[in-house]
Structure 1
Amino acid sequence: MSMPIRPEHRWLYPIDWPEISNIVRFMRAGGRCEHCRRPHGRYVTFLAGADGVWWDVEIHAWRDGRGRRLRYAPDVVPLEAIRMTRKPVYLATAHLNHDPTYSGPRWRNLAALCQRCHMIHDAAEHRRRRWWNAFRMRALGDLFSGRYS
């Protein structure tokens, strides 16, 4: 499963995008997020409120939000307050410079990212686009609705 591409943006991607995405996610990254090491297609246990701390079943240890193994168990609060969630992890191929028309030499501009890392990476771009869309809608409203009537 890969990230859906909006129909209006489809023409920006190369025709062989599904193959490129599979190579980046599964051959180069080995089926793990390149930022936090979460495995694709598996359910992962997260420690709620611990900034991305998750349990890696393969090494039987906690990892932080950057994929580094924790030396010590995370600080634990009383059992009543501990909240752990299990969620599936899906990798998507992300453009590191937010430009889908450029993949760079040997796909250096591409990274296999899980949902969390992808959202963190794209947060500033999402804020910029939200601002631009709101600005555009206000400008159209001023133009046609008659703020200046």
Structure 2
Amino acid sequence: MPIRPENRWLYPIDWPQISDRVRFGRARGRCERCARPHKRRVAHLGDGRWWDADARCWRSNTGPRIKGQRFVLARIRTTYVVLACAHLDHDPGNSTPGNLAALCQRCHMLHDAEEHRWQRWWNAYRIRAWRDLFESPQEVRLRNNVSR
């Protein structure tokens, strides 16, 4: 996941090396939650279950093999997996190895879901506050199609 320019100063200067060490040294190029491989296209069912071509088996969303299940092939989709180094406590300044994890896009989004919900609320709040400061009541009525 790319780092926003306004947040770049929060990360240590050697962040690329730290990230590579976690993703490819410790995690060996696989997600540490679901074991999906980096830079590979994998088939998945949309609920976390995915096909591990190396082991020739289906895996659950946490990584273990799934045995004895049949799947409807029409529901199978593919996705390209890219590993990112995630901060488990959401603090970019805390780059200790125990606070970092190599996560695929799906696991990273699930891990950061609460943070994303808060950010979405905050952005909407800021926009409403900005409008309250700089729009006249007539502009608000026109925008909302309210006539008096």
TM bucket, shorter chain: 0.7 to 0.9
State the partner residue of 2:100.
110
Q: What TM-score do you get using the length of structure 1 for normalisation?
A: 0.86
Question: Once the two structures are superposed, what CA deviation does each residue of 1:100-138 show, in whole Å capped at 9, x if it has no partner?
Answer: 11123xx11111000111111111100100101111111
Task: Kindly report structure 1 stretches of 4+ aligned residues shifted beyond 3 Å.
Answer: none
Q: In 2, distance between residues paired with 1:146 and 1:120?
A: 40
Q: What TM-score do you get using the length of structure 2 for normalisation?
A: 0.86
Gaps of 5+ in 1: none
1:86 is paired with a residue whose SS is strand
Q: In 2, distance between residues paired with 1:23 and 1:36?
A: 19
* Aligned-residue offset at 1:73: 2.2
Query: Percent identity at matched positions?
Result: 61
Gaps of 5+ in 2: 138-148
Question: Once the two structures are superposed, what CA deviation does each residue of 1:14-63 show, in whole Å capped at 9, x if it has no partner?
Answer: 00000000000000111100010001011111124xx1111111111100
Larger Rg: 2
Q: In 2, distance between residues paired with 1:24 and 1:119?
A: 18
* Aligned-residue offset at 1:86: 2.0
Which of 95, 116, 121 is residue 131 of structure 1 equivalent to?
121
Aligned-residue CA RMSD (Å) = 1.6
Query: What one-letter code is carried by the residue in structure 2 that aligns with 1:63?
Result: R
Q: How many residues align?
A: 138
* Aligned-residue offset at 1:72: 2.0
State the partner residue of 2:62.
66
